[in-house]
Structure 1
Amino acid sequence: MSPFNIRPAAEKDVELIYGFILQLAEYEKLANEVVATREQLRETLFSEKRYAEVIIAEYENKPVGFALYFYNYSTFLAKPGLYLEDLFVIPEMRGKKIGKALLSYLAQLAIENNCGRFEWWVLDWNQSAIDFYRSIGAKGMDEWTVQRVDGESLHKLAGENVEVT
């Protein structure tokens, strides 16, 4: 049995999600841009009209990371797409394949929901993240900073064994 698992976030996780967002913003040198409040997160993530969804990664039952995502639409494919807005794993847990497990979980959701693509952006200075994304089959979009996993790479990523609770 794996020492970590991934679960959908619940309303009780708002404080945790907010904390992860602040840590991510600090890492990205964008802390001054965070204007979100806990109440806004509660409203936009857990009310009747939800705008995004969150999954939580836990290691030995302790929250260690999150991913926030939503569905978009590709007119060229005439299919929905899954867009990863944020992914964060606490620094001391990096290198344990938790980030890859979060991406694999999302790739599985993309396939289950007939998505034609799975995309995200990465800051151009974050070479370690770019290298990691390339290692799982993501392609850089030269005219954008969007990352995409599709086709064989999407299926390969979705094939990762992830314990889902």
Structure 2
Amino acid sequence: MTITIRPARPGEEGLVLGFIRALADYERLAHEVEADEAAIGAALLANFARRCVAEGLGRLEWWVLDWNEAAIGVYTSLGAQPMDQWTVFRLSGEALERLAEGSA
């Protein structure tokens, strides 16, 4: 049998929480688990916000797919504003390697 260990991917929040709950059940500590998918995400954003404030940073930015209405709803409920006037650029593959080598 081959076991692969990898970072969790977006959309696997429920799976990870399931692992946490299974371990808590095994250790007879299920009553200590106070989390759900929405809380795990909100806590992460709150932690980032605390770090921004503590480090004197003026803003917190992230990306969301334009079709992900559930996430957009959560973010706007927090007071986040969509930044429609910005375009995301990506550098990858050979172009990334060329720039890294100093020969754009």
TM-score scaled by length of structure 1: 0.34
CA–CA separation in structure 1 for the residues paired with 2:65 and 2:87: 7
How far is 1:145 from its partner?
Answer: 6.8
Any gaps of 5 or more consecutive residues in structure 1?
A: 1-14, 28-57, 64-92, 147-165
Distance 1:121 1:129, change over 3 A: same
1:5-35: CA deviation from partner (whole Å, max 9, x where unpaired) = xxxxxxxxxx86x331xx22xx4xxxxxxxx
Structure number, greater radius of gyration: 2
Residue ranges of structure 2 left out of the alignment (5+ in a row): 22-35, 89-104
1:104 aligned to 2:46?
Answer: yes
Q: Does 1:135 align with 2:70?
A: no
Separation (CA, whole Å) in 1 of partners of 2:71 and 2:79: 13
Distance 1:145 1:134, change over 3 A: farther
**Alignment coverage as a number of residue pairs:** 66
RMSD: 2.9
Partners of 2:73 and 2:67 lie apart in 1 by 11
* Alignment partner, residue 120 of structure 1: 62
- Structure 2: distance between partners of 1:145 and 1:113: 27
Q: Where has structure 1 moved over 6 Å in runs of 4 or more?
A: none
Using the TM superposition, give the Cα deviation of residue 142 of structure 1 relative to its aligned residue in structure 2, in angstroms: 1.5
Greater relative contact order (Cα 8 A, min sep 6): structure 1 or 2? Answer: 1
Contact 1:110 1:118 in 2 (8 A): yes
Aligned amino acid, residue 111 of structure 1: V
Distance across 1 between alignment mates of 2:41 and 2:87: 19
Task: Looking at secondary structure, tell me which structure has more strand per residue.
Answer: 1
Task: Give TM-score scaled by structure 2 length.
Answer: 0.52
